[in-house]
A = this chain, B = another copy of it.
Amino acid sequence: MGEKSEQKKEHILGCARKVFVEKGFRSVTMKDIVEASEISRGGLYLYFSNTAEIFLEVLKRETEADDDVFSVSISEDATATDILLLFFKEQKKELLRRRGDLSIATYEFYFARGREERENHLRDQYDAGVRILKHLIDQGIASGEFYEVDSSVFAGNIMLVIEGLKILSRTRRISEKLVDTQFAHLLQQLCMEDE
């Protein structure tokens, strides 16, 4: 693909992202994306054949950007507790963000396709979260910071609480206090110094 085509594709994806943030996924049509990006219908179909294809491409870029952010923010001598606190802080920020993200569109996309699709970004994100937290809890147990919990089950519990808070935050207003109280509860069950 030439440089100009690459630019046009980026332009389409940028405009499409705004449409998905605004309208979710299920009710978005190719016509919406044609209008948002101010190109011709034929022009759009040169690059993408349906809204699902566009959405997956938008989501892919978003996820890559997220990974970059996470990898730079942890210093090398951080304890397991430090990292867990940082993780909760990041999650809290995302939970309390009012709008402008793809979470609702992502839910809507996987409502329709999640059970059949082989690629499932929501599932991968959750599974990766459980894996990382399990590893972190194992480290905290080894270093004597954490109680000897079942790290796999506990990691799942933390991720489910976060998923619960996330869906709550997208379907109603949630308070900062709710997030703080629940994260403090999880920390208290895990960290010895928090008792």
Contact = CB atoms under 8 A, between A and B. Distances in A.
Interface of A: 24, 26-27, 104, 107-108, 110-112, 114-115, 120, 122-123, 126, 150, 153-154, 156-157, 159-168, 170-173, 178, 181-182, 185, 189
Looking at chain A's contact residues, the main secondary structure is helix
B181 A120 contact: no
B123 A171 contact: yes
Copy tally for this chain in the complex stands at: 2
A183 to B, nearest CB: 11
Contacts of A173: 115
Contacts of A165: 160
10 contacts: A104-B111, A111-B171, A126-B168, A153-B182, A160-B161, A160-B165, A161-B161, A163-B164, A163-B168, A167-B167
Contacts of A181: 153, 156
A120 B172 contact: yes
A182 B154 CA distance: 9
